[in-house]
Amino acid sequence: MGDLLANKTILVMGVANRRSIAWGCAQIMQEQGANLIYTYQNERLKKGLLKLVGDEASLFECDVADDNSIAQAFSEIKARYGKLDGIVHAIAYAPKAELEGEITNATRAGFQTALDVSAYSLIAVSKAAMELALLNDLASLVTLTYMGSTRAIPNYNTMGIAKAALESSVRYLARDLGKFGIRVNAISAGAIKTLAVTGIKGHSDLLEISKQRTVDQAAVTIREVGGTCAFLMSDLATGVVGDVIYVDKGVHLI
């Protein structure tokens, strides 16, 4: 418990279940005094979220592949809360066929979907928030990325390219939103067993190898990722702009 995020209202996008990285972020931010709002992709995912946060929580439907859905959710949030101090964007998707074999198997449609949902969505969300003047001074946007953006990880393929685009989007957004005092950063998390990861062919090997390559052979946890998310949301991080911070217990070093 602490008060690092006291009086901050933060939107968390991407909690699917208790294994979600966004849920680790939400837990730590709440322990640090933040008031949290959640979005969910669709009715099916709302059920899992409700189980975690209960009926009292503030939930809004938002499919980031659809500008109208983002606009609708954000205008409802604006009407209810006025301003936000932060947004956690923990969202990615690629069709399963993109996450196996070689990159030459990539299809135009699969590539577009992966880049749209996993990279462009951060720009779309930022744009909608700016259009509605939804963000306070010193607000912080945090997204989740993976080192498949800079390394050729087996089967990660199109998603690695999407993560490269996402990290680049972070830098351009940080430049443009920085003028308004808003910071944009990414956390590059180590491999964690979540719903999203199970879409990658051979994910058991990926998880096991990643675990072996941490400094203590124990996988990074969603709470450890959440700790860095809370820091980035806090005013302690006002000097961190447009960066990618690794929270993978050293896997990227080896």
- Judged by the rule CB under 6 A, the positions of this chain that interact with ligand NAD are 14-16, 20-22, 41, 45, 63-65, 90-93, 117, 144-146, 189, 191-192, 194-197
Comparing CB distances to ligand NAD, the nearer of 117 and 184 is: 117
Comparing CB distances to ligand NAD, the nearer of 17 and 136 is: 17
Place of tokens 């998310």: 229
Phi-psi region of 249 (alpha: psi -120 to 50; beta: other; left: phi over 0): left
Comparing CB distances to ligand NAD, the nearer of 185 and 194 is: 194
CB of 162 to ligand NAD, least distance (A): 8
Comparing CB distances to ligand NAD, the nearer of 93 and 231 is: 93
CB of 63 to ligand NAD, least distance (A): 4
Sign (positive or negative) of CA dihedral 141, 242, 157, 219: negative
CB of 179 to ligand NAD, least distance (A): 26
CB of 21 to ligand NAD, least distance (A): 4
Q: Which residues are catalytic?
A: 146, 156
